[in-house]
Amino acid sequence: MIDLAGFALAVLLIELTPGPNMAWLVTLTLSEGRRAGLGAIAGVAAGLTANAVLSVLAANLILAQGEGLTQGVSLLAAAMMAWLAWEAWRDSGESSQAATPKAAAGRHLLAGFVINLLNPKSALFIITVMPQFVADGRPTLAQGFTLAAVSVGIATVIHLALVLLAEHARTALMAEARARMVRRGLALAMLGVAAWFLAKAFG
């Protein structure tokens, strides 16, 4: 059995936290127009999809090695969420334009694909967090791909909303005072998820 609602909420918390993809898509759209932004979204979605598929396969292989690894994965998931919460709380600067990828004209799709395909944070999130929302902590490939689709779908919807409402999104998400409030509120929520994963590991 899969807890789709719980997993979707965890993904939503991560995706709503201002980060490189957000900053890049908004900045790109404002500077080069919606067409460039939409092209970049396609690349990001493709990269996230490929990353998620590889991560699901890796998680399946790792968890198949023995039931004892399930607790270890739960502990790693708790550490992953706590780390993301800390990054958000301390205003790590990931949302700044300087930290975002820059692509040459006409190559935004490729840039979005490569950067997200090679994103270790996305891979680690899928490998460690995904099993926490499956009844026995050992998702089948079908369950893993279902959760991966949910993750990519939520990310893509949020990215699309950012591009279509770029002017408003920039004001709401890029202003430092507001961005700090958003990050810290989401950080506390992610810390709560980390505590739940920790309790689950020893439950």
Burial of 186 (0-12, 13-18, 19+ CB in 10 A): buried
Residue whose pair of structure tokens reads 């092209």 in the numeric block: 39
| Helix residue spans in the chain (DSSP H) | 4-16, 20-32, 34-63, 68-89, 108-117, 120-129, 141-164, 166-174, 176-202
Structural contact between residues 24 and 170, judged by C-beta atoms closer than 8 angstroms: no
Residue 42 pLDDT: 94
In a domain, 113, yes or no: yes
Residue 84 pLDDT: 74
Residue 93 pLDDT: 46
146: which residues sit within 8 A by CB, 6+ positions away? 2, 4
Other CB atoms within a 10 A radius of the CB of residue 124 amount to 17
pLDDT per residue as tens, the chain (203 positions):
899 999 999 999 888 887 778 878 887 887 778 888 899 999 999 999 999 999 999 998 888 776 666 677 777 878 877 887 787 787 654 433 333 444 454 578 988 898 899 888 888 889 989 999 998 888 899 999 999 999 999 999 999 998 888 766 555 555 666 667 767 787 888 788 888 777 766 76
Q: How many domains does the chain have?
A: 1
Instruction: Tell me, yes or no, if the pTM score tops 0.85.
Output: no
Structural contact between residues 135 and 6, judged by C-beta atoms closer than 8 angstroms: no
Termini Cα distance of the chain: 18
Which CB contacts under 8 angstroms, 24+ apart, belong to 163-172? 163/25, 163/26, 163/29, 163/34, 163/37, 163/38, 163/40, 163/41, 164/34, 166/25, 166/26, 166/29, 166/30, 166/34, 166/37, 167/30, 169/22, 169/26, 170/26, 170/27, 170/30
The Cα diameter of the chain in Å comes to: 52
In a domain, 77, yes or no: yes
Residue 118 pLDDT: 85
In a domain, 120, yes or no: yes
Token pair belonging to 33: 């127009």
| 3 state SS of 13 | helix
Expressed as residue numbers, the domain containing 184 is 4-94+105-202
In a domain, 26, yes or no: yes
In a domain, 79, yes or no: yes
In a domain, 100, yes or no: no
In a domain, 99, yes or no: no
Helix axes 34-63, 68-89, angle to 10 degrees: 150
